[in-house]
Amino acid sequence: MTADWVPDSLQTEIPQGKERNLRGLALLHDAQPATIAELENISTWYWCPEGVQIFDRSDHHTDVFFIAEGTVRVVDHAASGQEVAFSDLEAGTVLGELSAIDGEPRSATVFAAEDTLLAKVEAAAFLDFLARHPDVGLRLMHYFVSTIRGLNSRVVGLSSMSSVQRVYGELLQMSEPDPEGDGRWKINSMPQHKEIAVWAGTTPETVARAIGELLKAEVVKRRHKTLLILDRQRLHELATAS
């Protein structure tokens, strides 16, 4: 393990106007200002532009990162080599904590889904902080439980559904009620096929074919960059059919 390590891709020069504070960190919810300041004082701050890798699943470094601003994406690869997205972590979230606790390599690859401000704390300092603040450690345990439950649900979905069904499932997840659509749903700013493929654990070609079938069956309809879901019940049936 290497102490005080950071990828070359992360920048120590923080854009002007960005606040270096951890007040929004979920682990510090209801914490005293002195406790928050204590963690901030042992943090090193970095700016991570969109698309830049923060760490790779093969890394043996054990530093912990806190997302002060922005969003990161956690991905891995299936046996076929297909990239699969597990989750998007937003501001207020911790990442890299597993390696800090057990000293093992990273469990996934993480990169910035948008411009992101990070605070990094060395593993030993983080563990010492948790030992002195058991209430923060308890919140970390709750975070672990929530993460495990979410991953269990996602793994079951990836393993029990066909690639086309997974595409339909992702479309359902992305959709939201259309206030002008008489109960219909929609996906604003429809992502590219490559983006949906990462979440569905499939290929862009499969995504294009699946959406094409929905268009043909008039389950969905395109309106510029918006995908209108004309029959959400039918889409749900297609996604869950055995």
Topology of domain 26-159 in CATH is Jelly Rolls (2.60.120)
CA gap 39, 56 in Å, rounded: 25
> Which strands form 64-69's sheet, in the order they lie side by side?
44-48, 116-121, 64-69, 94-95
Percent share of the chain, pLDDT over 70: 90
User: Which phi and psi (to 5°) does residue 76 adopt?
Assistant: -145, -175
Specify whether the CB–CB gap between 112 and 88 falls below 8 A: no
pLDDT tens digits, 63-100: 999 999 999 999 887 666 677 778 889 999 999 999 99
Q: Is the pLDDT of residue 3 over 50?
A: no
Output the six-digit token pair for 19.
């606040």
Residue 22, C-beta contacts closer than 8 angstroms, at least 6 positions apart: 28, 36, 39, 40, 43, 66, 68, 119
pLDDT digits (tens, 9 = 90+) for 153-172: 666 666 678 889 989 988 99
> 161-240 — its CATH code?
1.10.10.10
In this model, does residue 133 exceed pLDDT 60? Answer: yes
- For 70, the token pair is 């922005």
Domain parsing of the chain, residue ranges: 26-159, 161-240
User: What pLDDT was estimated at residue 122?
Assistant: 95
